[in-house]
Amino acid sequence: MGDPTSRRSYVELLREHLLGHAGDLGDDFRERVRENPLRILDSKNEEWQEVIERAPQLTEHLGTESRAHFEAVQRGLDALGVDYELDPRLVRGFDYYTSTTFEFVSDALDAAQNAVGGGGRYDQLAEQMGGPPTPGIGFGVGIERLLIVADAEQAVPVRESKLDAFVVDGLDGGREALTLTHELREAGLRVDRAYGNRSVKAQWKAADRARAVFGVMLGERELARGEVGVKDLRSGEQVDVPRDQAAGWLRARREFDR
pLDDT tens sequence across 187-208: 999 999 988 788 999 999 999 9
pLDDT of residue 156: 61
Look at residue 158 and give its three-state secondary structure: coil
Q: Tell me which DSSP letter residue 16 carries.
A: H
Q: Where are the domains of the chain?
A: 4-60, 64-152, 165-257
Residues 6+ apart with CB under 8 A from 136: 121, 122, 123, 125, 126
pLDDT of residue 258: 67
Report the 10 Å Cβ neighbour count for 156: 7
Mean pLDDT for the stretch of residues 213-236: 94
Look at residue 48 and give its three-state secondary structure: helix
pLDDT of residue 91: 67
Mean pLDDT for the stretch of residues 109-121: 82
Task: Name beta bridge partners: 227.
Answer: 242
Q: Which parts of the chain are beta strand (E)?
A: 98-105, 115-121, 137-141, 165-169, 191-193, 214-218, 227-232, 238-242
- The CATH superfamily of 165-257 is Anticodon-binding domain (3.40.50.800)
pLDDT of residue 29: 80
Mean pLDDT for the stretch of residues 65-94: 84
Please give the single-letter amino acid code of residue 50: E
- Report whether pLDDT(75) > 90: yes
Q: Would you say 227 and 242 are in contact if contact means Cβ atoms under 8 Å apart?
A: yes
158: pLDDT confidence band, cut at 50, 70 and 90?
low
Decide which of 156 and 140 is more confident.
140
What is the rounded distance in angstroms from the CA atom of residue 254 to the CA atom of residue 30? 62
Please give the single-letter amino acid code of residue 94: F
